């Protein structure tokens, strides 16, 4: 079994899954170097199961593709940036040529990417020490920036000079907070100071990329300390403008189901739906995400003391009722029992839950736009009173003109 250091009892050994190790062997047999790098190596060293595996290789991208093309399925979409995706036992593994980024004149993208044959150069362009290690069986762990010690101390430290690294790419600022929320790590002092000096750079980062990091942070294991650090360091306004939820909400986020809409709904529960929707639009989130988050936030304000209250919350939050009631419980607006009431009620909350379909409406002579309109009216009626959700009753209602 490959191991980084047999005398070190603290860190788990690094064992690559067979389908990944097979790829490193193919590259090494072709005379190239192949290392496990990035988040997958970090997670293995933390004893966690990585969600995917990234390899770095000395082989230029075209050559990587050629090496694998006979025996594997190769996806070449990232070739220009040096990345080739190889399917091994049906699972995608990204293999990227050792890279150095050129200068960053816009604070977002390197002006040019060039390839190198030295793994250490590739590691030095990476963001944090814990993400800048490399491993291969033959030579063990390569850790030029002290990532392993930082993993032990649970610290996020920029590789190199923090101000330079954050001015090259301000997204790294949000990555620091996101990793600190996911891993439960503290941002090292000089790194945090660098963040403070470079935060304006976030203005040049695309909102979509900001939103992606922010959602990962919100859904992480411990978002609260990271959010407080962002608030106290003046970074939060670059993400969500002048809004900041009260302490009680920040504290409760970790106990909300780890899902985008649910956590956004609770996060924005300290304002009204109009303002939340505006802020969420500013993050270029999809209409579905915005509607969902607003539904959770709306329902979270409901006082639920009886099953009838639960039905009202269902009417207000629709498909998001079960998330909304959880938020309401966390905010102290609802009894813990309310979750059961909402779920047991199993109220119809989307069109497909209705005991009647568009086809039934056509059969009784409703046409065109009126079909959708009628279905929505029926849905609204049964959300208020689930006992109405029976085909005959609904047809009766239609006959009576609803």
Contact residues for Mg ion, defined by CB under 5 A: 39
- What element of type H or E holds 136? strand 134-136
> With binding defined as CB under 6 A, does residue 38 bind ligand ATP?
yes
CB of 236 to ligand ATP, least distance (A): 20
- How far apart, in whole angstroms, are the C-alpha atoms of residue 27 and residue 23? 6
Q: Which does 156 bind (CB under 5 to 8 A by kind): Mg ion, ligand ATP, none?
A: none
Q: Which does 17 bind (CB under 5 to 8 A by kind): Mg ion, ligand ATP, none?
A: none
> With binding defined as CB under 6 A, does residue 195 bind ligand ATP?
no
With contact defined as beta carbons under 8 Å apart, do 210 and 239 qualify?
yes
Q: Report how far Cα 286 is from the mean position of its chain's Cα atoms.
A: 15
Q: Which does 171 bind (CB under 5 to 8 A by kind): ligand ATP, Mg ion, none?
A: ligand ATP
Query: Which is closer to ligand ATP, CB of 48 or CB of 390?
Result: 48
Q: Which does 157 bind (CB under 5 to 8 A by kind): Mg ion, ligand ATP, none?
A: none
* Interacting residues with ligand ATP between 125 and 144 (CB under 6 A): 126-127, 131-132
DSSP assignment of 277-343 equals: HHHHHHTT--HHHHHHHHHHHHHHT--B-SHHHHHHHHHHHGGGHHHHHHHHHHTTSB-THHHHHHH
Q: Which does 33 bind (CB under 5 to 8 A by kind): Mg ion, ligand ATP, none?
A: none
Q: Enumerate residues 6+ apart whose C-beta is below 8 A from 242.
A: none
Among 172, 199, 311, 326, binds ligand ATP (CB under 6 A): 172
38: phi > 0 → left, psi -120 to 50 → alpha, else beta; which? left
Question: Which range in 168-176, 206-214, 251-259, 260-268 contacts ligand ATP by CB under 6 A?
Answer: 168-176
Strands 99-101 and 113-115: antiparallel
Query: Which is closer to ligand ATP, CB of 162 or CB of 245?
Result: 162
Query: Which is closer to ligand ATP, CB of 147 or CB of 348?
Result: 147
Tokens in use for 56? 């770095």
Distances (CA, A) of 258 to 182, 187, 323, 337, 344: 12, 23, 11, 21, 22
Q: Is the dihedral of CA 264, 266, 267, 271 positive or negative?
A: positive
Query: Which is closer to Mg ion, CB of 156 or CB of 294?
Result: 156
> With binding defined as CB under 6 A, does residue 61 bind ligand ATP?
no
How many residues bind to ligand ATP according to rule CB under 6 A? 10
Query: Which is closer to Mg ion, CB of 39 or CB of 282?
Result: 39
Applying CB under 6 A, the residues found at the interface with ligand ATP are 38-39, 54, 126-127, 131-132, 169, 171-172
């Amino acid at each position: 079994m490959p191991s980084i250091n047999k005398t070190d009892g603290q860190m788990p050994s690094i064992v690559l899954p067979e389908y990944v190790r097979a790829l490193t062997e193919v590259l090494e047999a072709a005379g190239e170097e192949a290392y496990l790098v990035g988040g997958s190596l970090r997670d293995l060293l933390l004893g966690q199961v990585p969600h995917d595996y990234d390899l770095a290789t000395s082989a230029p991208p075209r050559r990587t593709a050629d090496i694998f093309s006979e025996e594997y399925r190769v996806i070449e979409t990232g070739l220009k940036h040096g990345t080739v995706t190889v399917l091994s036992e049906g699972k995608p593994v990204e293999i990227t040529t050792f890279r150095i980024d050129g200068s960053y004149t816009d604070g977002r993208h390197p002006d040019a990417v060039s390839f190198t044959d030295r793994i250490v150069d590739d590691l030095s362009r990476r963001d944090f020490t814990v993400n800048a290690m490399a491993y291969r069986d033959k030579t063990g762990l390569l850790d030029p920036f002290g990532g392993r010690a930082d993993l032990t101390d649970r610290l996020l430290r920029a590789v190199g000079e923090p101000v330079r690294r954050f001015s090259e790419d301000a997204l790294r600022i949000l990555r620091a907070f996101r990793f600190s929320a996911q891993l439960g790590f503290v941002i090292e002092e000089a790194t945090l100071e660098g963040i403070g000096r470079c935060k304006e750079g976030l203005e040049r980062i695309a909102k979509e990329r900001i939103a992606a990091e922010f959602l990962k942070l919100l859904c992480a294991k411990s978002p609260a300390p990271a959010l407080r650090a962002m608030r106290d360091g003046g970074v939060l306004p670059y993400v969500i403008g002048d809004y900041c939820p009260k302490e009680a909400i920040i504290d409760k986020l970790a106990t909300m189901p780890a899902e985008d809409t649910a956590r956004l709904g609770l996060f924005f529960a300290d304002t009204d739906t109009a303002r939340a929707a505006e802020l969420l639009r500013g993050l270029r989130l999809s209409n579905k995400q915005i509607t969902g988050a607003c539904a959770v936030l709306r329902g979270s304000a409901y006082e639920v003391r009886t099953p009838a209250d639960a039905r009202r919350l269902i009417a207000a939050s629709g498909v998001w009722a079960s998330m909304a009631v959880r938020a309401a419980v966390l905010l102290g607006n609802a009894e813990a029992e309310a979750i059961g009431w909402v779920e047991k009620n199993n109220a119809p909350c989307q069109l497909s839950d209705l005991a009647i379909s568009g086809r039934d409406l056509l059969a009784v002579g409703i046409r065109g736009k009126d079909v959708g309109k009628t279905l929505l009216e029926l849905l609204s009626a049964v959300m208020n009173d689930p006992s109405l959700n029976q085909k005959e009753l609904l047809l009766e209602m239609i006959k009576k003109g609803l």
